Amino acid sequence: MRDANPQTIYLKDYTVPEYLIHNVALNFILDDEDTLVRSRLTLSRNPASYSPNKSLILLGENLKLLGVNLDGKDLAKDQYLQTQDALIVNNVPQQQRFELTIENTINPKANTALEGLYLSNGMLCTQCEAEGFRKITYFLDRPDVMTSFTTTLVGDKDRYPVLLSNGNKVAQGELPNNRHWVTWEDPFNKPCYLFALVAGQLECIADRFTTQSGREIDLQIFVEKHDIDKCDHAMQSLKNAMRWDEQVYGREYDLDLYMIVAVSHFNMGAMENKGLNVFNTKFVLARPDTATDSDYEHIEGVIGHEYFHNWTGNRITCRDWFQLSLKEGFTVFRDQEFTGDRTSRAVKRIEDVNMLRTRQFAEDAGPLAHPIRPDAYIEINNFYTLTVYEKGAEVVRMVHTLLGAEGFRKGSDLYFERYDGQAVTCDDFVSAMEAANDIDLRQFRRWYSQAGTPVLTVRQHYDASAQTLALTIKQSCPPTPGQAVKESLHIPVTMGLLNKDGSAALCKLEGSDRASDEVILQLTQSEQTFVFEGLAEQPVVSILRGFSAPVKLVMDRSLDELAFLLSHDSDTFNRWEAGQQLAGQIIAGLIADVQNGRELHVNPVMVDAFRQVLEQPWDDLSYFSLLLGLPSETYLGDQMEVVDVEAIHTASEFVMRALAEELESQFFALYQANHKDESGKFDAGAIGRRRIKNICLSYLGKLENINVQRLAQQQFNTAKNMTDQMAALAVIANNPHPAKQRCLDSFYRQWQEEALVIDKWFALQASSHMPGTFETVKALMQHPAFDLKNPNRVRSLVGAFSQSNPLHFHAANGQGYQFLADQIIALNTLNPQIASRMVGALTSWRRYDESRQALMKAQLERIISTEAISKDVYEVASKSLARQD
Ligand code: B3K
Ligand code: ZN
């Protein structure tokens, strides 16, 4: 049965912990089904707590309690109380330290929620963030209780030859009955969400890193035996991340050992446990023939992200879970910059903004909108959102923009110096930035408490006689649930001006004696006018360069002006953006034509713009390939009053085909010039060649031309790397290619032993827009390789269908919705976190036509009335249905 009344937790109710834990000694006698946990805690009353409560309340869930001992004496049953989620020990000492020993057992094999201690392909592993430690033993499971951990693992030598936990290995030994033990000690205080243990039959690759101060660090990556040949890229990524954090932030690694373990069953990407990261295999394993270029890039990004958490998350952690963006926003910003430095800054920025605008903006405009520092939650796992992570990173990026790289570094140095070893708040982060730079960020702080995507409306007025340009910017923010009234934000708006010949015009603000190619406008009022002087001719405005703030921009632009910016803007982001706006406007017109039954014609401005891009020489081929990309169907839908998935799809396909027809020879020549027989090395030149070639192939694939079909098939058959093989298969599977089924079958046969490649095979079919996809998805649910207990599989089939296939998921008869609800209900009991993530595809129901609204709403209602609904699913489904006023 559902928690009768799921409780809402509020930020305003925060109080300091009543007790402190000085150290904990954990002892695990490992067994797949019956692990014995003994925890010895040294505690004392927290002098900073004013609570009159004299009992000690430790949190715990699903634990079989064997006994409690206080200062050497076993407690009788009436000296403590065990509830569904806590152990309450009465009359603990108030004046001095005391020692509490708890014994309990847990069943990792039965743990399909993958939180706490669980089994994945025979390996025992843990996931404790946010509140999984309480599923291992009773504890003060909250991030502001930091303590030192000593962990002893005992187990069968054959069953669990490798025994890992946080920190340094300090002792080990043999025991009778073929058992052994290892003791780990973590010298750094940490909250229990950073605890980890791993035990099993694992292989390891090892390397070393010398820090900037000359310390030698052992690096180890543990995987299942058959994956040992896919760890090199992850290891190299780790070393790159370690060096980068030293160079850019002056941060050095602190323990003598850094371990990464890859597991097949994992609810998210990875986890930054101190000294012992646990990763989804997806973000570790790569070989050129099994992983695509973007897999390689994501692996480096996620390895970096978890590594960077060692300072932004572990050494300095969050006071409470409302502060999650303190560590996540900052760490995402750090990993974005790392990837930008390692690959192409222009490309990385565009990829990040694209994701933010399609997915986070939708979240911020929907029923689950929340500020980057939420003020209430039912289930904290539901708040690991795009808002907390990606918008959180944008907020940190704005601080960086406002302070400049040097000022930001001064601020981060002060942050690390002031708060090392503490659990702090978002406000503490901003205070450090302020103090180091002598700047007032009071108004800027509203970004932390205000939800919703601000809208900037820009008007321009050029006065030829005065030679001035007046730019008036109005900011507004639509209401979000629980926040009807919005206040003005402090928004940095980076901009430049272009002369008619494409050269930069100087920006000289009225009253300022400085003139430069680019300025950062400080927008603080609801409406503000900025006047630029000395402009002999009317310039073209390039505004919000680099996407300097996470806002929507409304500005009247002609197609010609956009085409001009696409050719001339020196800002790589805005140049791409102009192309997107141009394509977006033209496709919007075509969508209206489809809706009104008019014949479709592509605007020659678009063909010319594409031709120009295609005919220019480009150094950064990855960036070039982005310029050829069209706005996604999801993004186009976001721009509409009522999303019309069919019209969007028809218009998008039409444009692709029209461009392919008009520019066939250019696409073909570019394909040929860049199609090299390459093994798939992760280097910028080869990646760029593959990217540009494969986008050309995707256009050519629309031509239903026998030569192109052969080309795709040939690339599929001869590819030496997964990027090329997948790209060819995608073209084959998304067009009426005669060999479609044969290729899909042979791909499966070739890769059936490689779980991550089979995930791609599922996802590709689930996101296909060809007819019959729904039936394929249903059939794939019965495929022997499908497993509802494996989150990667669920994401690749159910997730890809519901989140990346708008056309079929939103089929007018509602079968997609019903299918998704069936899976959510089944997942609800197995894995509430994954179930709740899947509800996301239904939350935007108000964006569709009346008939679809009713169908989606009915499924949400069905989900919510399921017996035994988890609080994870309940929170998302009920908030999705809640009235929006
Ligand atoms: N901190 C973890 C996420 C934990 C999610 C808990 N539901 C990974 C990361 O952001 O690095
Ligand atoms: Zn993180």
Give the number of whichever ligand sits closest to the CA of residue 872. Answer: 1
- Tell me, yes or no, if the pTM score tops 0.85: yes
**What is the CATH code for 460-562?**
2.60.40.1840
Q: How far apart are the first and last CA of the chain?
A: 30
The residue with tokens 């370690």 is: 242
Under 8 Å between Cβ of 391 and 367:
no
Same fold: 1-201 with 460-562? yes
Among 155-164, 406-415, 875-884, the minimum mean pLDDT is found in 875-884
> Quick one: average pLDDT of 188-199?
99
| Ligand 1 nearest atom to the CA of residue 389, by list position | 10
Backbone angles phi, psi at 436, to 5 degrees: -75, -15
Residue identifier of the C-alpha nearest atom 7 of ligand 1: 381
d(Cα 685, Cα 676) in Å, to the nearest integer? 11
Spacing, Cα 102 to ligand 1 middle (Å): 28
| Ligand 1 nearest atom to the CA of residue 270, by list position | 8
DSSP 121-148: TTEEEEE-TTTTGGGTS-B--STT--EE
pLDDT category of residue 1 using cuts at 50, 70 and 90: very low
Residue identifier of the C-alpha nearest atom 2 of ligand 1: 271
Give the number of whichever ligand sits closest to the CA of residue 270. Answer: 1
Q: What is the pLDDT of residue 518?
A: 98
Q: What is the pLDDT of residue 289?
A: 96
Instruction: Taking the CA atoms of 335, 337, 341 and 343 in sequence, report the sign of the dihedral they define.
Output: positive
pLDDT category of residue 133 using cuts at 50, 70 and 90: very high
Spacing, Cα 483 to ligand 2 middle (Å): 27
pLDDT category of residue 676 using cuts at 50, 70 and 90: confident
pLDDT reading at 267 higher than 90: yes
d(Cα 488, Cα 527) in Å, to the nearest integer? 9
- Contacts of 636-643 with CB under 8 Å at 24 or more apart are 636/584, 636/587, 636/588, 636/591, 637/806, 637/847, 638/357, 638/358, 638/361, 638/362, 638/365, 639/584, 639/588, 640/588, 640/591, 642/847, 642/848, 642/849, 643/806, 643/810, 643/847, 643/848
Q: What is the pLDDT of residue 678?
A: 79
Under 8 Å between Cβ of 631 and 583:
yes
Give the tokens for residue 682: 């992760």
CATH architecture, range 752-885: Alpha Horseshoe (1.25)
pLDDT reading at 410 higher than 90: yes
Q: What is the pLDDT of residue 638?
A: 95
Residue identifier of the C-alpha nearest atom 5 of ligand 1: 129
pLDDT reading at 791 higher than 60: yes
Give catalytic status of residue 363 as yes or no.
Answer: no
Query: Domain extents for the chain?
Result: 1-201, 202-290, 317-449, 460-562, 752-885
Q: What is the pLDDT of residue 167?
A: 98
d(Cα 355, Cα 807) in Å, to the nearest integer? 19
d(Cα 36, Cα 65) in Å, to the nearest integer? 10
What are the C-alpha distances in Å from 164 to residues 276, 546, 884? 8, 43, 49
d(Cα 262, Cα 303) in Å, to the nearest integer? 11
Is 202-290 a domain of CATH 3.30.2010.30? yes
Q: What is the pLDDT of residue 4?
A: 53
Do the bridges between strand 216-223 and strand 257-263 make them parallel or antiparallel, or are there none, so unpaired?
A: parallel
Verify whether ligand 1 is closer than 6 Å to residue 302 (CB atom). Answer: no
> Quick one: average pLDDT of 176-202?
98
Identified catalytic residue from 306, 363, 434, 633? 306
Share of the chain above pLDDT 70, in %: 99
pLDDT reading at 2 higher than 60: no
Verify whether ligand 1 is closer than 6 Å to residue 361 (CB atom). Answer: no
Average pLDDT across the chain, whole number: 97
d(Cα 243, Cα 752) in Å, to the nearest integer? 37
Q: What is the pLDDT of residue 885?
A: 66
Verify whether ligand 1 is closer than 6 Å to residue 831 (CB atom). Answer: no
Verify whether ligand 1 is closer than 6 Å to residue 332 (CB atom). Answer: no
> Quick one: average pLDDT of 574-602?
98
Q: What is the pLDDT of residue 677?
A: 73
Share of the chain above pLDDT 90, in %: 98
Verify whether ligand 1 is closer than 6 Å to residue 384 (CB atom). Answer: yes
Q: What is the pLDDT of residue 883?
A: 82
For domain 317-449, give its CATH number from 1.10.390.10, 3.20.20.140, 1.10.10.10, 3.40.50.300: 1.10.390.10
Residue whose C-alpha is closest to residue 548's, from 348, 397, 332: 397
What pLDDT, in 10s, does the model give residues 680-713?
Answer: 778 899 999 999 999 999 999 999 899 999 999 9
At 81, which helix (H) or strand (E)? strand 80-82
What pLDDT, in 10s, does the model give residues 386-397?
Answer: 999 999 999 999
Verify whether ligand 1 is closer than 6 Å to residue 133 (CB atom). Answer: no
Q: What is the pLDDT of residue 462?
A: 98
Q: What is the pLDDT of residue 793?
A: 98
> Quick one: average pLDDT of 454-479?
98
Query: How many residues can be counted in the chain?
Result: 885
Verify whether ligand 1 is closer than 6 Å to residue 305 (CB atom). Answer: yes
Q: What residues are neighbours of ligand 2 (ion), with CB under 5 Å?
A: 328, 331
d(Cα 284, Cα 221) in Å, to the nearest integer? 9
pLDDT reading at 738 higher than 70: yes
Spacing, Cα 128 to ligand 1 middle (Å): 9
> Quick one: average pLDDT of 234-250?
98
**What is the CATH code for 1-201?**
2.60.40.1730
